[in-house]
Structure 1
Amino acid sequence: MGRVTPQDDRDDKGAAGSLLLDDQLCFALYAAQRAVTAAYRPLLDDLGLTYPQYLVLLVLWEHGETSVKELARALRLDYGTVSPLLKRLEGAGLVRRERAAGDERSVLIACTGRGAELKERAAHVPGALLTTTGLGAQEVVRLREELWGLTERATMVADRRRAY
């Protein structure tokens, strides 16, 4: 489906003041997120993973054993969202959960042998996604930097609003 941009309905501010759906930054991000997640789906289906499960494993492969709190922070998710993901991954034999010895309130997460082995099978996923989307390495770096910058600015605004 092509992008619709009826120029006649825009005011002098252009897209910044427009109420047209396709002029909304939030909608462009939402559509891109859905499209990228859909592009990941066949790659992750081969691994038996959903996209959120893949993200959990990426954190564990990078950092090793970590607390649920740190995992949630890394994924920018709340505990209530992370907990069911971990239950499914544990049920699939890919991660293990256990109470921290020094702090019974803290739960540690780590990959099992099966979870660690999956890393090797998943190594092709990032490159395959680039091939699928037609993005070059430099485009990915630029786009990722812009998105992280936007995330940081939007987070600062949200944090300021919560402080009031």
Structure 2
Amino acid sequence: MKDQLQISQQVCFPVYVFAKEIISHYRPLLEELKLTYPQYLVMMVLWEYETQTVNQLGEKLKLDSGTLTPLLKRMEQKDFVSRVRSKVDERSVNISLTEKGKALKNKAACIPNQLMESMEVSTEDLLVLKNIITKILNK
């Protein structure tokens, strides 16, 4: 029987290395948009939903408000988003796209294809990988 504590026997290690690898491929693509990878994730949620509370963003992105708040402040300084305290519940902050943030979507439209080219991976392989990971995460 193989030693389960050998790194070559671990599932988590190639997943960890792959996560680092994919983000390193995103970095030059996102630099042109003046976005970090976590900021890009926020933008994708907002491009889909227009306005979200900090808590809603956190739920969708699996990030806590301590991580999101400084990230959103930097995005507000770049004029990509606006942060407005809710009139209904003062504890809640609504995050919305600015015109500049909305316009960024057109510039970002080519990123998925550029990423696949950069990584030299097919759409089919990425879809299989995504489906397996999603299946595991949804258990």
Range of TM-score over shorter length: over 0.9
Q: What runs of 5+ residues in structure 2 fail to find an aligned partner?
A: none
Distance across 1 between alignment mates of 2:7 and 2:32: 35
1:145 equivalent to 2:122? Answer: no
Identity of aligned residues (%): 39
3-state SS, counterpart of residue 109 of structure 1: strand
Q: Considering Cα pairs closer than 8 Å and 6+ residues apart, tell me whether 1 or 2 has the greater RCO.
A: 2
Q: How many equivalent residue pairs?
A: 139
Look up the match of 2:54: 68
TM superposition outliers: structure 1 runs of 4+ over 6 Å = none
- Runs (5+) with no aligned partner, structure 1: 1-11, 154-164
Q: Does 2:73 align with 1:87? A: yes
What is the letter of the counterpart of residue 108 of structure 2? A
Letter in 2 for 1:73: E
RMSD: 1.1
Larger Cα Rg: Structure 1 or Structure 2? 1
Q: After superposition, what is the alpha-carbon deviation per residue over 1:6-60, rounded to whole angstroms, capped at 9, x for unaligned?
A: xxxxxx2x4xx52112321111111000000000011001111111110110110
Hey, what's the Cα distance between the residues in 2 that align with 1:23 and 1:48? 39
TM-score of the pair, normalised by structure 2 = 0.95
- Partners of 1:23 and 1:82 in 2: how far apart? 35
Which of 30, 44, 64 matches 1:78?
Answer: 64
In the alignment, which residue of structure 2 is the partner of 1:9?
A: none
> 2:44 maps to what in 1?
58
Q: CA deviation at 1:151?
A: 1.8
Match of 1:133 among 96, 103, 119: 119
The one-letter code of the counterpart of 1:125 is I
Cα deviation for residue 88 of structure 1 reads 0.6
Query: 1: distance between equivalents of 2:63 and 2:45?
Result: 13
